[in-house]
Amino acid sequence: MARETPFPPRLLEGYRAFAGGALPRQQARLHELAEGGQKPETMIVACCDSRAAPEQIFDTIPGEVFVLRNVANLVPPYEPDGAYHSTSAALEFAVQALKVKNIVVMGHARCGGIGAALTPLEMPLSPGDFIGKWMSLLRPAAEKVAAYESMTPGERGTALERIAIRHSLDNLRTFPCVQVLEGKGRLALHGAWFDIATGELWIMDPKTGDFARPVLDPTALADTH
């Protein structure tokens, strides 16, 4: 029988702050979402790393973005094989049911999943080796990047983090619904990379695949929430 443990105190403290601060300001919005459902225009595929939270990075409000988080923000290829596919299910719901207009794949610096792909453990963390199997989606690219001895470990990590974003965007396009809607101009795919240490966001050029920091208009940075 499992031993009873108290709910994490830090989470209760956080909820107390939310209940006394943001909740009153957002109550009307939350009621509207509860009654009318969600209608986000953007889906974000992000890593489950606790240091790179999309809602914080993009300063969003409830109902504004549909967020999927998994290890290393990977999108697998379209595989209707009857198995369990959490990421594909979320993608299907966002595109087919919510009819999002944008999908952003956002990677980040110092990603543990990418590190595991570059330097696989000799022994898996568990008999299931779920991380190892998941990161095998990047195995060919990881092996090539790991062989670049002239690069530092940090440079190899950044390189594969950005390659993984492009790889996921390619896999998104294997889904028929994404192919059709992107072809009709009703769905746009984007890549982004977040540097945890500096807080800088880098955006992928859809034509070249290169990443660059966006030019932000200071007059547009006022809080609109």
Q: Could you tell me if 81 and 183 lie in one domain?
A: yes
- Taking the C-alpha atoms of residue 195 and residue 76, their distance in angstroms, rounded to an integer, is 24
Residue 220 is predicted with a pLDDT of 57
Residue 106's nearest CA partner among 40, 44, 169, 175 is 44
pTM score, two decimals? 0.92
Per residue in 198-215, pLDDT (tens digit) is 999 999 999 999 999 999
Is residue 114 located within the same domain as residue 170? yes
Q: What is the pLDDT of residues 50-102, one digit of tens each?
A: 999 999 999 999 999 999 999 999 999 999 998 899 999 999 999 999 999 99
Residues 9 and 62 in one domain: no
- Nearest to 95, CA basis, from 1, 178, 194, 23: 178
154 and 122 inside one domain = yes
pLDDT of residue 221: 55
Question: Does residue 96 sit in the same domain as residue 23?
Answer: no
Per this entry, what is the length of the chain? Answer: 225
Domain hosting 9: range is: 1-37
